[in-house]
Amino acid sequence: MKSALITGITGQDGAYLAKLLLNKGYHVSGLIARRATPTTWRLQYLGIANEVDLINGDLTDLPSIVRAMNKAKPSEIYNLGAQSFVASSWQQPVLTAQSTGIGVLHVLEATRLADCAIRFYQASSSEMFGLVRDPIQSEATPFYPRSPYGVAKLFGHWMTVNYRESFNMFTCSGILFNHESPLRGIEFVTRKVTDAVARIKLGQQKDLRLGNIDAKRDWGYAGDYVEAMWLMLQQEQADDYVVATGRCTTVRDMCKIAFDYVGLNYEDYVVIDPAYYRPAEVDILLGNPAKAKKVLGWEAKTSLHDLIEMMLEADLARVRAEK
Ligand code: NAP
Ligand code: F7E
């Protein structure tokens, strides 16, 4: 039986990936950081909380990763754990560097010490493109990160490349563009919008305060994107891939789709609040997923309209259940 260790299993992607791997017959372990309140709600939402082995540990604590590796004995490791909220990375740059950057090195080093044959996936990010050098970003586009988060991800990305080149290890980086779902954290803009639209529709909220609604993102569905992660580790050769839809939309138009769905006009509710502006913005991200399609046979299946509808239906149900 194949065995996988997922860091960040309690996050959006970790939960979907765990479900995918369980469906493929894997034994799934996950690194779980100690928190004061429970963090397994996503695993519960997907009905898999009792089907995965949760091992205590923290990405900033190398010995705990080594112990988790010894316990899980994985043939594949997916490093998805990170401080992943870009806006917070200016408020907590050192913590972000330690978990999102140095944490990658801890997992790579623990993998090398345990068994160089373990296949390793790193959750790299389109935020590394930042102030974009090409209008459509591919694996060949130079990086220019714009946040402490992007800088930390770039460190993890190059470490992943370096371990492949230095130790001949099977290490892959997925350069994933934004991907969302009903399990997305509430602070990210898509989920902030769908949660607010549900609350406004059901009479529990009056307005929606947002920052730069002219920013453009290439949004896909997380359920599609975890398949690309798995495919990367099934290839003959380790490599890096852009994973994206190839379309991009403004935050403004994404809001319009969400409000239209419940029969409301976004202009009546959206209030611009400069508190949500970022010290340095990434104005546009648009990925070219041609390599992932050609080599992995992967492409995004879910349209932005379908994604927003899926998220809205889930948030409408959640808000109704709270009543
Ligand atoms: P997420 O929902 O924020 O999940 C992050 C996970 O990392 C959570 O399980 C969190 O645990 C864990 N974590 C944070 N700090 C940790 C630490 N010090 N030690 C151990 N675990 C820690 O993120 P996501 O959206 O699933 O994204 C997964 C990965 O892909 C992240 O690395 C993210 O940066 C990257 N990425 C995401 C996107 C996207 O659009 N979603 C795009 C590109 C790359 P708690 O639950 O305890 O906080
Ligand atoms: O912001 C703008 C904001 O926080 C998207 C992470 O998964 O994807 C994600 O990072 C855009 C930005 O995601 C609000 O300024 C406007 O331009 O949803 P977001 P992100 O920063 O793109 C990348 C690929 C990752 O790797 C990250 O881990 O929306 N925006 N008004 C707002 N954003 C938020 N959060 N809240 C607002 O009120």
Mutate to test the pocket of ligand 2, among 147, 191, 217 (most ligand atoms within 8 A of CB): 217
Q: What is the pLDDT of residue 284?
A: 98
The pLDDT score that the predictor gives to residue 33 is: 97
> Going by CA atoms, what residue is nearest to atom 31 of ligand 2?
211
Residue closest via CA to ligand 2's atom 27 equals: 84
pLDDT given at position 23? 98
Domain residue spans in the chain?
A: 3-179+219-243, 185-218+247-284+303-322
Atom of ligand 2 nearest to the CA of 180: 7
Out of 80, 84, 86, 284, mutate this one to test ligand 2's pocket (max ligand atoms within 8 Å of CB): namely: 86
Are residues 239 and 300 in contact, defined by beta-carbon separation less than 8 angstroms?
Answer: no
The catalytic residue positions are 125, 127, 149
27-32 sheet: strands from edge to edge: 53-56, 27-32, 3-7, 76-79, 119-125, 171-176, 240-243
| Residue ranges in the chain modelled with pLDDT below 70 | none
Ligand 1 test: best mutation among 84, 151, 187, 302, most atoms within 8 Å of CB?
84
> pTM for this structure?
0.98
Residues 31, 68: contact at Cβ < 8 Å? yes
The predicted structure's pLDDT at residue 81: 98
pLDDT at 8: 98
How far does residue 76's CA lie from ligand 2's centre (Å)? Answer: 29
Residue 202 alpha carbon to ligand 1 centre in Å: 31
Cα of 183 from ligand 1 centre, angstroms: 12
Per CATH, the homologous superfamily of domain 185-218+247-284+303-322 is UDP-galactose 4-epimerase, domain 1 (3.90.25.10)
Nearest-ligand number for the alpha carbon of 287: 2
Tokens matching residue 240: 């890096």
Q: Supply the residue whose CA is at minimum distance from atom 33 of ligand 1.
A: 84
In this structure, is the dihedral angle defined by the CA atoms of residues 181, 53, 37 and 104, taken in order, positive or negative?
negative
Nearest Cα to Cα of residue 111 among 57, 62, 54, 154:
62
Topology given in CATH for the domain delimited by 3-179+219-243: Rossmann fold (3.40.50)
**Predicted pLDDT of residue 7:** 98
Which numbered ligand comes closest to the C-alpha of 215?
2
CA of 262 to the centre of ligand 1 (A): 30
- pLDDT of 311 reads 98
* Ligand 2 atom nearest to CA at 211: 31
What is the structure's pLDDT at 323? Answer: 76
Per-residue three-class SS string for 218-280: CCEEHHHHHHHHHHHCCCCCCCEEEECCCCCEEHHHHHHHHHHHCCCCHHHCEEECHHHCCCC
